[in-house]
Amino acid sequence: MLFGKDRKATKPDAIIQQLMRIVGQKEVLYLQEDLISYECDGYTMSKGMPKAVVFVNNTKQVSDVVKYLNKQGIPYIARGAGTGLSGGATPLGGEVLISLVRMKKMLHLDLENRKAVVEPGYINLKLTQSISDKGYYYAPDPSSQYACTIGGNVAENSGGAHCLKYGVTTNHILGLEVVLPTGEIIELGEDGVPDRPGYDLLGLLTGSEGTLGIVTKITVKVLKNPEAKKTVLAYFDDIADASQAVSEIIAAGIIPAALEMMDQIAIEGVESAAYPVGHPRDIAAFLLIEVDGVAAGIEDQIDEILTVCKDNQVREVKVARDEAERGLWWANRKMGFGAMGAISPDYLVQDGVIPRTRLPEVLTKIAEISKKYDLRIANIFHAGDGNLHPLILFDARIPGQSERASSAGSACLKVCADVGGSITGEHGVGIEKSDEMRFIFHDDEIEAQTKIRAVFNPDDRLNPGKLFPQPGRCVEVKQEMSKEGL
């Protein structure tokens, strides 16, 4: 290297050396400086240093690495792009991270049968980009789709703005190749032949948050582009009116492709960031509504949506003039989380699910939580399917704020659980919400699930400590919550 000396050699230990023998010397990171950026994923409230990062290039390497780590009794975690929002790929400390980002090829494309086979490191958006000229797309569209991997989407059963009509990742997975924690390689789903007898292991693996196996090959459904698409933006002065409009649109029998809501603080964020649309800053909320499908009938649906909005005291409602305007509206929305950086040094995003009709009441409670913990909370909401994302804004440099943010997040989830909802819609449980699993499951129900995990992952060596509460801790959490009166 012409500029900068070569790094001083720090001798790798025996385990690192053996991993290097399996995958190649350059495919293992082990220096502290190289590892530190792996101490968390998109969820930054919890951090732990991995022992090493191993880059694998094929299924056999994954299997060999897993077998070796098993023999040595070393825990390990599969990692994609690290955009997850619940700490699913974050080490507790000392695990080996198996990075799948270099397995990023499309292996097979079969448009006649509407399917594609990709490696786990394949980027979500790339799939749509690579087939859009042929008139096809891949439906699940998490906001991180610019960077997240399909392998990570399978692990987390990721959703996205357009999941209201088209379903989440699990509805689009036809087959998986999985390396089990024993190192064995199994195929599930047989490349998309429907209705296989036996247990639905495909469904079990999808969304298992990397605790049952490491996915090395994925067969996904691809869809034909809708013939027509229209997008509406509606500004409301009152959140209750906006929520009522959401309920009435669904009640009218329309299933929009997407139905998104953002409140005032969220609007402040996106308008201060990279893709401002020019939303009025004084509205209480806006709805972003998209309908798609066969061209005939789209106009009627749009008319009906406009009528519902007007019946609910909308201040202003408009239909996107062209693709450029529609694109900007979506960029503004999809960059919503990252945009919080423009108005706050840190944020914690929650992922509650509630019955749509309870929205005004839940938002009032969230406002109370915001007041109680003295932290601003923005709300971005997949309103159509009741998936709420309160974004708790804080500054980790100020002592006590991180802890308050964490408690406020937990309190938001409690509210969601109490109105008959759930603690996660699409971001997963990970490290973040494992204790909050108690809000929605009894001990027996959790035990039933950990027993299933034990069948695949008996020593909890694959992604340890994730998804389920550690025995004992749950009691403290419950006490804490009842003390706080939530």
Which residues contact residue 125 at a Cβ distance below 8 angstroms, ignoring those fewer than 6 apart? Answer: 141, 145, 146
When asked if residue 377 is in the footprint of other proteins (CB under 8 A), the reply is no
When asked if residue 186 is in the footprint of other proteins (CB under 8 A), the reply is no
- From the CB of 159, what's the least distance to other proteins, in Å? 17
Buried b (16+ CB within 10 A) or exposed e, 446-463: beebeeebeebbeebbbb
When asked if residue 40 is in the footprint of other proteins (CB under 8 A), the reply is yes
Convert residues 92-131 into a mask of x (bound to other proteins by CB under 8 A) and - (unbound).
-------x-xx-x----------------x-x--------
Q: Provide the 3-class DSSP secondary structure of residue 30.
A: coil
Judged on CB neighbours under 10 Å (0-12, 13-18, 19+), 97 is buried
Which residue among 5, 11, 442, 483 contacts other proteins (CB under 8 A)?
5
When asked if residue 6 is in the footprint of other proteins (CB under 8 A), the reply is yes
- From the CB of 249, what's the least distance to other proteins, in Å? 28
When asked if residue 398 is in the footprint of other proteins (CB under 8 A), the reply is no
Question: In Å, what is the CA distance from 13 to each residue of 53, 92, 408?
Answer: 14, 21, 42
- From the CB of 485, what's the least distance to other proteins, in Å? 31
- Could you give phi then psi for residue 144, rounded to 5 degrees? -85, 15
When asked if residue 339 is in the footprint of other proteins (CB under 8 A), the reply is yes
Q: Which is nearer to other proteins, 3 or 199 (CB)?
A: 3
Question: In Å, what is the CA distance from 375 to each residue of 346, 347, 372, 390?
Answer: 11, 10, 8, 12
When asked if residue 81 is in the footprint of other proteins (CB under 8 A), the reply is yes
Q: Where are the beta strands (DSSP E) in 154-257?
A: 173-179, 185-188, 214-221, 223-224, 228-236
Which residues contact residue 45 at a Cβ distance below 8 angstroms, ignoring those fewer than 6 apart? Answer: 87, 348, 402, 405, 406, 432
Which residue among 122, 235, 347, 373 contacts other proteins (CB under 8 A)?
347
- From the CB of 109, what's the least distance to other proteins, in Å? 18
Which residue among 11, 33, 324, 482 contacts other proteins (CB under 8 A)?
33
End-to-end Cα, the chain, rounded Å = 59
Q: Which is nearer to other proteins, 136 or 347 (CB)?
A: 347
When asked if residue 158 is in the footprint of other proteins (CB under 8 A), the reply is no
Nearest to 471 by CA among 437, 420, 432: 437
Which residue among 17, 36, 224, 251 contacts other proteins (CB under 8 A)?
36
Q: Which is nearer to other proteins, 146 or 441 (CB)?
A: 146
User: What part of residues 189-218 is at the interface with other proteins (CB under 8 A)?
Assistant: none
The runs of H, that is alpha helices, within 235-297 are 239-251, 264-272
When asked if residue 350 is in the footprint of other proteins (CB under 8 A), the reply is no
C-alpha–C-alpha distance, residues 199 and 203, integer Å: 9
Q: Provide the 3-class DSSP secondary structure of residue 175.
A: strand
Number of residues forming the site for other proteins (CB under 8 A):
51
When asked if residue 219 is in the footprint of other proteins (CB under 8 A), the reply is no
Contact at 8 Å (CB) between 261 and 381?
A: yes
DSSP secondary structure letter of residue 167: -
Instruction: Kindly report the number of other CB atoms within 10 A of residue 358's CB atom.
Output: 18
C-alpha–C-alpha distance, residues 236 and 317, integer Å: 9
Contact at 8 Å (CB) between 115 and 219?
A: yes
Which residue among 341, 355, 458, 471 contacts other proteins (CB under 8 A)?
341
When asked if residue 454 is in the footprint of other proteins (CB under 8 A), the reply is no
When asked if residue 32 is in the footprint of other proteins (CB under 8 A), the reply is yes
Which residue among 52, 262, 288, 340 contacts other proteins (CB under 8 A)?
340
- From the CB of 34, what's the least distance to other proteins, in Å? 5
Q: Which stretch binds other proteins (CB under 8 A): 2-10, 223-231, 259-267, 316-324?
A: 2-10
When asked if residue 345 is in the footprint of other proteins (CB under 8 A), the reply is yes
Which residue among 109, 147, 298, 367 contacts other proteins (CB under 8 A)?
147
Q: Which is nearer to other proteins, 45 or 317 (CB)?
A: 45
User: What part of residues 418-437 is at the interface with other proteins (CB under 8 A)?
Assistant: none
Q: What proportions of the chain, in percent to the nearest 5, are helix, strand and coil?
A: 40, 20, 40
User: What part of residues 278-337 is at the interface with other proteins (CB under 8 A)?
Assistant: 335-337
Q: Which stretch binds other proteins (CB under 8 A): 64-72, 146-154, 166-174, 199-207?
A: 146-154
C-alpha–C-alpha distance, residues 460 and 19, integer Å: 21
Contact at 8 Å (CB) between 22 and 68?
A: yes
User: Which residue has 């692990």 as its token pair?
Assistant: 155
Q: Provide the 3-class DSSP secondary structure of residue 231.
A: strand
- From the CB of 327, what's the least distance to other proteins, in Å? 15
Q: Which stretch binds other proteins (CB under 8 A): 140-148, 181-189, 277-285, 445-453?
A: 140-148
C-alpha–C-alpha distance, residues 275 and 292, integer Å: 24
Convert residues 263-282 into a mask of x (bound to other proteins by CB under 8 A) and - (unbound).
----------xxx-------
Residues that bind other proteins (CB under 8 A): 1-8, 29, 31-34, 36-38, 40-42, 44, 53, 55, 81-83, 99, 101-102, 104, 121, 123, 144, 146-148, 273-275, 335-342, 345-347, 395, 397
